Amino acid sequence: MVEVQVRLARTEDREAVLAFCQNTWENKSDYIHLVWDQWFSEPKGRIFVAVVNEVPVGIGRVFMVSDSEAWWEGLRVDRAYRGQGIARILNSQIEEFLRENNIKTSRCIVRSEDQVMLGMMARRNRKIISYYIPHRNTPISTVESLSGLIFTQLNNSDFNSAWELVNSSEFYGENNCFYIGREVKWQKLKIELFKNLIERGLVWGIKQSDRLVSLAIQSALDRDKEVFWLGYIRGTKESLPILLLELRHLAFQKKYSSIGGFFPTCELLLNYLEKGEFWKSYTGVFSLFEWDNLSIAGNRENLTGSS
């Protein structure tokens, strides 16, 4: 067994980490090189590095999306060191860090093809709470406006009706009340966050006779700034297809080269996406996991940091 230490990332780890991340998968490229510098500089994030003989052989990152929620991402182990318990050690060290900082809720997404991760999550009793599929489309230069339906940017005066829409069971789309924030991180769409998103002009909706019938929230994808990225969508059966068209038009007006996002697997919404010529940018499904860091049950690993 190799002797493994886990510590926070240092500037000098960059080269070794990016070198082993070139071989993360056999048939697709990794994105760590596109985000490393930003990850390193963000105070709300922590990159944990597993080292063997001082050489980085694994990483895992958490980002505090709020003062009670953490987003896990970027778990990677150098091919030459896989199957030796390094991810297990990184996992336990990250959990310990979150417990020490009183961060209650953890989330992450796993692709349907990542069987090792899915097994690992299941053995830790981490539950899948939702499924998502990323979609893309091209912007459109014109859209036929339907009488009685008005597409508009929401402002503070729309807050009450918008918040009602988010919380009412009558609408289709995102049911768990999650917003997929900047750089693909799920977080609870809490009232203060929602207010802030409206104030920043990121919430768009369709009104019918002055009643708000659907809304979408803009997000951002730093690693591909050309895409108009969506982080939330919800509305009535009738208005959702129109909202999708209007958003494509908005993306055109804002000079984006494409529009996309992760959409919940709500049958009706998926149907509209298909009819609206959105294509799936991943053929499988992403499982959204959520677990409680502070409960004892899920934390079965030793916390020594070496094996």
Ligand X SMILES: CC(C)(COP(=O)(O)OP(=O)(O)OC[C@H]1O[C@@H](n2cnc3c(N)ncnc32)[C@H](O)[C@@H]1OP(=O)(O)O)[C@@H](O)C(=O)NCCC(=O)NCCS
Chain residues binding ligand X by CB under 6 A are 24, 75-77, 82-88, 110, 114, 116-117, 119-120, 123
Q: Compare residues 85 and 231 and give the one whose CB is closer to ligand X.
A: 85
Q: Smallest Cα–Cα separation from 269: which of 145, 187, 140, 174?
A: 174
CB 85 to ligand X: min, Å:
4
Tell me the helices (H) and strands (E) count for the chain, helix number first.
8, 16
CB 217 to ligand X: min, Å:
25
| Tokens 């068209």 belong to residue | 245
3-state percent breakdown (helix, strand, coil) of the chain, nearest 5:
30, 35, 35
Q: Which amino acid would we find at residue 232?
A: Y
| Cα gap 57→24, rounded to integer Å | 12
Q: Compare residues 114 and 276 and give the one whose CB is closer to ligand X.
A: 114
Which residues have CB under 8 Å from 135's CB, separation 6+?
260, 261, 263, 273, 278, 279, 280, 281
Strand partners, 45: 63
CB 117 to ligand X: min, Å:
4
Q: Compare residues 87 and 251 and give the one whose CB is closer to ligand X.
A: 87
Q: Compare residues 79 and 225 and give the one whose CB is closer to ligand X.
A: 79
CB 225 to ligand X: min, Å:
24
Helical H runs in the chain? 14-21, 32-41, 86-100, 115-123, 159-167, 191-199, 240-253, 267-275
Q: Compare residues 91 and 219 and give the one whose CB is closer to ligand X.
A: 91
Check if the beta carbon of residue 260 is closer than 8 Å to that of residue 281.
yes
CB 30 to ligand X: min, Å:
8
Q: Backbone phi, then psi, for 47, in 5-degree steps? A: -100, 125
Tokens of 296: 């004892």
| Cα gap 147→105, rounded to integer Å | 45
Q: Compare residues 33 and 88 and give the one whose CB is closer to ligand X.
A: 88
| Cα gap 175→248, rounded to integer Å | 23
Helix or strand run (H / E) with residue 136: strand 127-137
Q: Compare residues 106 and 137 and give the one whose CB is closer to ligand X.
A: 106
CB 120 to ligand X: min, Å:
4
Q: Compare residues 14 and 88 and give the one whose CB is closer to ligand X.
A: 88
CB 302 to ligand X: min, Å:
11
Q: Smallest Cα–Cα separation from 73: which of 60, 64, 58, 92?
A: 60
| Tokens 């004892």 belong to residue | 296
Q: Compare residues 50 and 247 and give the one whose CB is closer to ligand X.
A: 50
CB 116 to ligand X: min, Å:
4
CB 24 to ligand X: min, Å:
5
